[in-house]
Amino acid sequence: MALLEVKNLGISFGGLRAVNAFDIEIEKGQLYGLIGPNGAGKTTIFNLLTGVYKPDEGIIKLDGENITGKKAIDINKAGIARTFQNIRLFKDMSVKDNVKVGLHNHHSYSTLEGILRLPRYFKVEKEMDERAMELLKVFDLDQEADLLASNLPYGKQRKLEIARALATDPKLLLLDEPAAGMNPNETKELMDTIRFVRDKFDMTILLIEHDMKLVSGICEKLTVLNFGEVLMQGDTSTVLNDPQVITAYLGE
């Protein structure tokens, strides 16, 4: 059984059919790429998968569980986490606190216990602190733990967003243009990081990207999206060499 099974997903905005008859199957542990020209509907699909939008038709199943139409919070609890095209960090909170928010649902104590500073507060806070530092260390951000998130350089902000998403202990990680704005060196580092995340966290990753070096470098399978519909699906090398795909990207 595939980890993510999507069948016939579709949504319209006003009169515009943004996504139509979208199918995808992602196996556990895969590095899967979603590519296509600008405006093809890739982020819309991410929004559908994460519950930001409710689909008009279609079924989304995660690990056998039907999560279609569920709210964003419930989908995250079910096991999907994401990063955003325009980085969405908690800018006025520290780097460590950003990750701790990600840990919110897995380490809990009540508001009252927090206010009264009962023993459970100290126990759980300690756990969260250790876990947050573990995650930050993985992404080489532990030195900046107490810095304000908005003070990080761009590349590190992207990494922090990924760290925060991983803190929610997902089964499936969605990365929306993680290499946007990066130079070739940073992109190479990102590729290593993504592979490392997949290996160390036993993660399944679906990413949207325009950077073909990254796509061909790490993605095992691809789906090409054009005008909201699937143009082509399959192994990376096959898809990237397909004449239709090349036309869609580069034009005639």
Residues that bind another protein (CB under 8 A): 43, 47, 50, 52, 72-73, 76-77, 81-82, 84, 88-93, 96-97, 100-102, 104-105, 107-109, 111, 114-117, 121-122, 124-126, 128-130, 133, 145-146, 164-165, 167-168
Comparing CB distances to another protein, the nearer of 132 and 214 is 132
Edge-to-edge strand list for the sheet holding 204-208: 80-82, 172-176, 204-208, 31-35, 221-226, 229-235
Smallest distance from another protein to CB 141, Å = 13
Smallest distance from another protein to CB 72, Å = 4
Question: For tokens 């990600």, what's the residue?
Answer: 102
Comparing CB distances to another protein, the nearer of 116 and 246 is 116
- Count of Cβ atoms closer than 10 Å to residue 92 Cβ: 9
Smallest distance from another protein to CB 102, Å = 5
Comparing CB distances to another protein, the nearer of 59 and 145 is 145
At CA 126, angle to CA 160 and CA 102, rounded to 5?
30
Smallest distance from another protein to CB 58, Å = 19
Comparing CB distances to another protein, the nearer of 60 and 167 is 167
Q: What is the DSSP secondary-structure string of 83-143?
A: --SS----TTSBHHHHHHHHTTTTS---HHHHHHT-HHHHHHHHHHHHHHHHHHHHTT-GG
